[in-house]
Chain A
Amino acid sequence: MKKLLAVTLGILTAIGGFVDIGDLVTNALVGARFGMRLGLVVLVGVIGICLYAEMCGRVVAVAGRPVFDLIRERLGRRTGLLTLIASFLVTLLTLIAEIGGVALALELASGVQYLLWVPLAAFAVWLVIWRVKFSRLETVFGLMGLLLIVFAVALWKLGPDWGQLMHQATNPRPIGHETWATYGYYAIALFGAAMTPYEVFFFSSGGVEEKWGREDLITARANVFVGFPLGGLLSLAIMGCAAVLYLPVGIQVDTLAQVTLPAAVALGKLGLAIVLIGVFAATFGAALETALSCGYTIGQYYGWQWGKFVRPRQASRFHLVMIICLALSILVLLTAVDPVKVTEYSVVFAAMALPLTYLPILIVANDPDYMGENRNGPVTNVLGLVYLGLLLVASIAAIPLMIITKGGQ
């Protein structure tokens, strides 16, 4: 059991990348419009994040340094600052969306308008960060988020034509009136979400919070190879449900209620109850992940005392950053901006942040001074370079595609 609980950091991290509020809607939207024809992108994303998160975990276990330490050290003060600004803005925008997501999940469950839930949701996130131990937080929200497996059960219960879903998955191209531009736009959105920078910030900082040492190399790997594939699986299950239920009748998905409907259709009230708790846990978990990552990135760039392994008063600036970010989230959401739309804008900053985040990881994972005999092997390096290329292409194409397709319309 203890071994099982040791992988919850990976699971919670993956939830932020694959099934946070933006992804829940994007996965279902993509399933409704393209069937499983973009499923391959999720697979490519899972491999990419596994590759780089494994490197981060190894660097933490061997050298004890989290990702933003590496970014500052290898890119220097100026380029490091640029990376900080871009990745901080992605993370903050996502945090805003997640607080909105928690409120939307509460609205679905209670019928009370989500704006009323916003301050409460933000306060609850702060309270957990302020008081709850890191390992507890990771276990509770990691495991609760796993309730989203209900989408996989729902897909199976819907009794789809598996051959047809497979056929879609192995024919990765747009259909009907969809263009290559919209296909490419959503491919980048899915790939970018799978490799979103705050995953490695949170994962590596979490490793430091858990005080990983050399003896934890296996734990670090287990977290990576259990957590991220699970996240990818949930993502594909949501896409599959929408492909079965919405694609044949041509329904467009743009609300959280539509995302959760397949579970209700397949499994009735119980299914709906489970999916609502799952969505709440996943968005709350992603809110914790992004709020903490806001503190981690700034703290690590400036070298401040950060982390939940010390008391709040010993890491005062770290906690202050998170309080300010959560207060900002409330203010932005109370303007009644659509929380789901907010994540779409974060693509712009993600485009800048992605290559600059992953390059220093690859460099340091090869540095014999840091890594000794645990440095990258040739296969990891070739794959790492291929993915760096993919990230670069994605980051260059993201903004033009967003403009051409008017945000995927």
Chain B
Amino acid sequence: MSGRVLHAQLHLRDRQLIDQRNGRLLGKVDDVELDLEADPPVVTALITGEQRIPARLIAEIDTAVKISNEGLDLDHWDDWFERHIIDKIPGAGDKAD
């Protein structure tokens, strides 16, 4: 794990989550899970909604947090509304996208 010193409140909480692969917006960092046993304490995971993003998936922390979207289900609701409503309207875009 890299040893960057972060202010969890300032650098992580409420930041935008972005898919490192394709730039898709994946939600906000609602909370941060810390390992307080370690010295200094380290970030073990980010929480967004009901989902837990393990720290190893964090790719880059800048003005937004880039993650690799592996084994996560962050697109659940966007997909649900896409399938049930938006896709039924003509001109919503190609399926291939």
| Contact surface of A with B, Cβ cutoff 8 Å | 63-65, 69, 72-73, 76-77, 80, 130-131, 299, 301-306, 310-317, 319-320, 369-370
Contact = CB atoms under 8 A, between A and B. Distances in A.
A312 B16 CA distance: 20
A299 B11 CA distance: 21
Contact of A303 (B11, B26, B94, B97): B26
Q: Is the interface of A mostly helix, strand, loop or mixed?
A: helix
A311 B91 CA distance: 9
Interface of B: 11, 13-17, 24-28, 30, 48, 63-64, 77-79, 81-82, 85-87, 89, 91-94, 97
Contacts of A302: 27-28
Contacts of B81: 316-317, 320
A304 B25 contact: yes
B27 A311 contact: no
A254 B14 CA distance: 45
A305 B25 contact: yes
Nearest to B75: A305
Contact of A311 (B13, B63, B78, B94): B94
Contacts of A304: 25, 27, 78
Contacts of A317: 77-78, 81
Given A73-B14, A303-B26, A306-B25, A311 B85 contact: no
Given A305-B78, A312-B86, A130 B91 contact: yes
A303 B91 contact: no
A73 B25 contact: no
A350 B94 CA distance: 39
B97 A80 contact: no
Contact of B82 (A72, A130, A313, A370): A313
Contacts of A369: 11, 63
5 contacts: A64-B64, A80-B14, A303-B25, A304-B25, A311-B97
A138 B37 CA distance: 54
Nearest to B7: A369
A64 B63 contact: yes
Given A69-B16, A77-B14, A305-B24, A63 B87 contact: no
Contacts of A299: 25
A305 B25 CA distance: 5
A299 B89 CA distance: 20
Given A320-B81, A320-B86, 19 more contacts: A64-B63, A64-B64, A72-B28, A73-B14, A73-B15, A77-B14, A80-B14, A130-B91, A299-B25, A303-B27, A305-B25, A306-B25, A311-B92, A311-B97, A312-B91, A313-B87, A313-B92, A317-B78, A320-B85
B14 A313 contact: no
Contacts of A80: 14
A311 B93 contact: yes
Contacts of A316: 78-79, 81-82, 85-86
B24 to A, nearest CB: 6
A314 B82 CA distance: 7
Contacts of A311: 92-94, 97
B86 A313 contact: yes
